[in-house]
Amino acid sequence: AQAPDPRSALIPRYVRVNTLLWTVADAVSHFKRGGFVQENSPMNTPFAKKSFRIDDHVPDLLAFHPSVRFHDSELLAGGRIILQDKASCFPAVALSPPAEDDACVIDATAAPGNKTTHLSALMQNRGKLFAFERDKKRFGTLRMMIGMAQCKNIEPINADFLTTDPSDERFGRVTHILLDPSCSGSGIVNRLDYLLDDTDVIEEQVNDGEDTRLAKLASFQLMMIRHAMKFASVQKIVYSTCSVHEEENEGVVTQALSSPEALSGKFVLCPREYVLPSWPRRGLKEKLGADDADAVIRCSPDEDQTNGFFVSCFVRESPSAVGKS
């Protein structure tokens, strides 16, 4: 087995409260009764062993000392908590799906279901959330996770998102799409996320050289964004990776912005004020230019107490229509 990355010892144990089953206030009381002490110290200061904090950027996320374990906790088995890295919570927060009965959302690459269940919680179990997963085994995991978290507004679909017909009437009202496709995983130093221990790297790529592998991934990721842009009612698309490579992040976004789908659909990057504005680390200016770089998010595994991550958000022009995260 590979030795653990030493940086993982510095990443807090993040616990997302499943707000479909209880509130953050209930969770805080529960942990206090269990002997934990709530601190209000800044997130980047070290934790005492028995302390926890409410996260500064994700309101339903708690952070504990890295050594605290919840893997055998009945809260996890009962779906009341989900072990999810902070950065991996950003995409659903950035997408900020509506909590309305007529809401219609797609999670295009859903398994194991961390972000799907997060979206469902933000939607308060209302409206409809189509969750695509093409891999059969991982689809089983997704269904299990949806059941545990008691998400009622999700329709899981075991299919390749790229083969869906955007003009299918079932998807005619889809306004928000989350794309968190397979990537190199180069940002992951700590496999905190529940059930994220199996790899989803496309098999033929394992033997490729690094450049070929990244080029193939980037071309697949770009195809996914361009496909999402073909849905007639879609207003907002969040594209994320757990990669630190420019090729899969700013490089893919740059190509997506100049694609025929973006130009004809008038897709632009949603400005910073709508995309976790208080998160300080933004994209690489050299590739995107200052304004677009400011619109996207990066997380550094060396400096941010999270896995390495990237989040971008496309909207049709007139972003004021889409709500702040």
CA separation for the pair 69, 234 (Å, rounded): 40
Supply the minimum distance, in Å, between the C-beta of residue 313 and ligand SAM. Answer: 15
**What b/e readout covers 263-293, taking b as 16+ CB neighbours within 10 angstroms?**
eebebbbbbbebbbeebeebbeeeebeeebb
* CA proximity to 267, closest of 302, 312, 201: 312
Supply the minimum distance, in Å, between the C-beta of residue 321 and ligand SAM. Answer: 25
Give catalytic status of residue 242 as yes or no.
yes
CA separation for the pair 260, 24 (Å, rounded): 43
The response to whether 273 counts as a known ligand-binding position is no
- Do 31 and 52 contact (CB within 8 A), yes or no? yes
Q: Does 315 bind ligand SAM (CB under 6 A)?
A: no
CA separation for the pair 170, 208 (Å, rounded): 38
Residue 120, φ and ψ in degrees, nearest 5: -60, -40
Count residues near ligand SAM (CB under 6 A). 20
For residues 115 and 143, which CB has a smaller minimum distance to ligand SAM in the complex? 115
For residues 197 and 286, which CB has a smaller minimum distance to ligand SAM in the complex? 197
The response to whether 168 counts as a known ligand-binding position is no
Which member of 55, 200, 208, 261 binds ligand SAM (CB under 6 A)?
200
Helical (H) or strand (E) element with 26: helix 24-33
In the block, residue with structure tokens 């009381």: 29
For residues 180 and 294, which CB has a smaller minimum distance to ligand SAM in the complex? 180
CA separation for the pair 134, 85 (Å, rounded): 23
DSSP 61-116: EEEE-TT---TT-HHHHTTSEE---HHHHHHHHHH----STT-EEEESS-TT-HHH
For residues 51 and 186, which CB has a smaller minimum distance to ligand SAM in the complex? 186
The interface mask with ligand SAM, positions 165-184, x = CB under 6 A, is ---------------xxx--
The response to whether 304 counts as a known ligand-binding position is no
Which member of 10, 162, 268, 284 binds ligand SAM (CB under 6 A)?
162
For residues 224 and 293, which CB has a smaller minimum distance to ligand SAM in the complex? 224
Catalytic residue among 89, 183, 242, 313: 242
Q: Which residues, 82 to 141, sit near ligand SAM by CB under 6 A?
A: 88, 109-115, 132-135, 138
- Cα-Cα-Cα-Cα dihedral of 56, 60, 65, 70, to 10°? -170
Supply the minimum distance, in Å, between the C-beta of residue 88 and ligand SAM. Answer: 6
* Nearest residue (beta carbon) to ligand SAM: 109
**Contacts to ligand SAM by CB under 6 A:** 88, 109-115, 132-135, 138, 160-162, 180-182, 200
Q: Which residues form the catalytic set? A: 242
Q: Which residues are annotated as part of the binding site for S-adenosyl-L-methionine?
A: 133, 160, 180
